[in-house]
Structure 1
Amino acid sequence: MKLTVFGATGGTGRQVVAQAVAAGHDVTVVARDPARVPAADRARVIGGDVLTPGPWQTALAGQDAVLSCLGSTDRGNPTTVYSGGTAAIVAAMREGGVRRLLCLSSAGLEIPPGTPLGRRLVTRFVIQRLYRHGYADMERMERALADVRDIDWTVVRPPMLTDGPLTGVYRTAVNANLAKAGTISRADLAHYLIAQVTDDRTRHAVVEISGGS
């Protein structure tokens, strides 16, 4: 398959690119700093910022799917990288005739019923406050995608990410809260994202995911 990856220089994005290339896919990477994309990934690299019009927009034509691992490391200021970036990607996909989109959000947006009191308090008063700007933009992204019907999108909400190994074992819940979500390795998250490119069951859906244990 022909796959384009955004956010490929982040932890999960690097895993997506490496695993997709290893699986024999034709991978294109859009990166603000192409020098940060390892040459060993053997991917086609296009320089560009998802929030700025550029050659990356026309490069989406002919692709089978787009995988967005966009993120922001700036916790202190508002961001539009999720909502604005995804809107720009969707617009370019329409122009290029690409229908399949997978993008990352966060399980931290919601506190599932039955969450133990201690974890509930930590999520509400520590995690959600610490990441409030990113979460607010993720919510904007999810609301906007909910109205999109001509793109086959899937939003994946992981919990805390680790640098653990690829196991291929994880739990998911489609359009529902996932009970007892813990952590998941970036390698397993990338594995799931790639697998979902051809899975019709998660189109127009929000998926929560966690490690298998």
Structure 2
Amino acid sequence: MKIALLGATGRVGQAFIKEAQKHGHSDIFALVRSAETALPIPEKHIITGNARRREDVDRLISKADTVVSCLGTDGGDTLSAAVIHIIDSMKRHHVQRLITIGTTGILQSRLMPDKYRFESPESKRKTARAAKEHARVYEMLLGEDVDWTIICPTYLPDGDASGVYRFEQDILPEGGSRITVGDTAHFLYRELLNPQFVRKRVGLAY
């Protein structure tokens, strides 16, 4: 398996590289903004570019058969703009599998099942800007013929992987309030090897 990784310099991206390498997985290709970025992967696997540029995303995905995105919203529409390029490139290179990191805001509300969590009293966020951007991505993926999974961790403190956590399709595990970066990466790698939630969202928490 050859993995195209976006968001490699973020906390979850870095933890994912560590988790994959722990299991002997070395075929990871990463798109980074600066040529001076240091990542624990071979220099020839690092591609300098921007996820907002179609040609840069295409250069990355052309090297892989699976895509992992740990991109954040970057305060704007970076995420939805990048996903357009990701999907386009996946189709061009016949790549079918995509796993991306989302937010619990786009899971369904337990109190109001016809609404996203960010639209319900369950959400404690002062602003829904990031959740709305993640929702745009989810709604875009619903209409695409790719095998996507959106992993939706709750509050993400730093911490190593314990391998012990809860997950649930489309909703946040009841009472869940945190999950470490390490365990998020652990679940991401687990889903990569043994897909359980194809074309689904999955809530992740302790």
Deviations 1:85-126 (A, max 9, x none): 1121111111111111000111134574369xxxx85x54x5
When the two chains are superposed, the root-mean-square deviation of aligned CA atoms in Å is: 2.2
User: TM-score, with normalisation over the residues of structure 2?
Assistant: 0.86
Q: Which amino acid is the alignment partner of residue 61 of structure 2? A: L
Matched, 1:105 2:102: yes
* Residue number in structure 1 paired with 2:133: 137
> Pick from 65, 78, 99: which aligns with 1:81?
78
Mark the CA change 1:62 to 1:31 in structure 2 (over 3 Å): closer, same or farther: closer
**Equivalent of 2:183 in 188, 201, 204:** 188
In the alignment, structure 1 segments of 5+ residues that lack a partner are none
Aligned residue in 2 for 1:13: 13
From the two aligned structures, give the one with the greater strand fraction.
1
Please state how far the C-alpha of 1:52 moved relative to its aligned partner: 1.0
In the alignment, is residue 157 of structure 1 matched against residue 158 of structure 2? no
Structure number with the higher helix fraction is 1
Give the total of aligned pairs: 197
1:64 paired residue number = 65
**Correspondence list, 1:19-58, <5 A:** 19-25=19-25, 26-38=27-39, 40-42=40-42, 44-58=45-59
Q: 1:110 & 1:24 partners in 2: Cα distance?
A: 33
Instruction: Work out the CA distance in 1 between the residues paired with 2:10 and 2:100.
Output: 14
Alpha-carbon offset, residue 181 of structure 1: 1.3
Identity value in percent = 23
Indicate how the Cα distance of structure 1 residues 56 and 112 shifts in structure 2: closer, same or farther if over 3 A, else same. closer
Deviation digits for residues 142-199 of structure 1 (CA, Å, limit 9, x no counterpart): 11111112x1000111100011121011111113442111111111101111111133
Q: Provide the residue aligned with 1:147 in structure 2.
A: 143
SS at match of 1:137: helix
